[in-house]
Amino acid sequence: SQQGEEDPQALSIQEGENATMNCSYKTSINNLQWYRQNSGRGLVHLILIRSNEREKHSGRLRVTLDTSKKSSSLLITASRAADTASYFCATDINSGYALNFGKGTSLLVTP
Amino acid sequence: DTGVSQNPRHKITKRGQNVTFRCDPISEHNRLYWYRQTLGQGPEFLTYFQNEAQLEKSRLLSDRFSAERPKGSFSTLEIQRTEQGDSAMYLCASSPRIAGRSYNEQFFGPGTRLTVL
């Protein structure tokens, strides 16, 4: 069964706007990762946040983690058409191997 | 670009036939993973190798599925007596083992899309 649940399932915004997607998970984790998937580049790692971290930044990406609520959010600032993709959160329960992915948020960024 | 490669990219087969997929990980990565992804879902973990040892298998990996990584380099995933429910994208990923760190990002291949008629 899938560990994470992303919300919303689909999001449509215009270029320049910010996109926020959320992930909730069920059991304790060691870390949480966000991945992006589009038809051109497949599944690509974006950012990893450890369970003892609360916020992390990478370029236009900002990830937060609230282990008390078992939730994470991914913020993409100043979105571009090239950000159009599906975004998945993945939790790493057994350190170093299996990732449990959510169902993903489908993001559409229109010019 | 020496990323993860998978072959074939597409496979169409008839129900009951056997199929085999190949994954070539990034050369210095000793961990290799197989996932399955169906339409509208996230990838689901199937199995994991560290070098040539298969260390974990998901309950999704029925007796019809077998995976090998004979020399700790490339891996094969075989599905015997395919069923229509096996139709999916099969993804391979690899990651390095970094001393002192128990978590790693995984690098995914482009996948093999299987269609069982």
What are the pLDDT digits (tens) for A68-101?
999 999 999 999 999 999 999 999 766 557 889 9
Q: Shortest CB distance from B105 goes to which of A48, A98, A102?
A: A48
Q: CB distance B48–A44 less than 8 Å?
A: no
pLDDT band with cut points at 50, 70 and 90 for residue A109: very high
Residue in A97, A101, A105, A106 to test binding to B, most B beta-carbons within 10 Å: A97
Per-residue model confidence as pLDDT tens digits over A5-48? 888 999 999 999 999 999 999 888 888 999 999 977 789 999 99
Q: Shortest CB distance from B42 goes to which of A44, A88, A98?
A: A88
Q: CB distance B48–A97 less than 8 Å?
A: yes
First vs last Cα of chain B: how many Å apart? 34
Region B24-34: mean pLDDT is 92
Distance CA(B31)–CA(B54), nearest Å, equals 10
Q: CB distance A100–B45 less than 8 Å?
A: yes
Give me the numbers of helices (H) and strands (E) for chain A, helices first please.
Answer: 0, 11
Neighbours of B59 (CB within 10 A): 7
pLDDT band with cut points at 50, 70 and 90 for residue B58: confident
Query: Residues with Cβ < 8 Å from A73, sequence gap 6 or more?
Result: A20, A21, A22, A23, A63, A64
Q: Shortest CB distance from A95 goes to which of B93, B103, B108?
A: B103
Amino acid at A68: S
Distance CA(B9)–CA(B29), nearest Å, equals 22
Please tell me if residue B42 touches chain A, with a CB cutoff of 8 Å: yes
Please tell me if residue A48 touches chain B, with a CB cutoff of 8 Å: yes
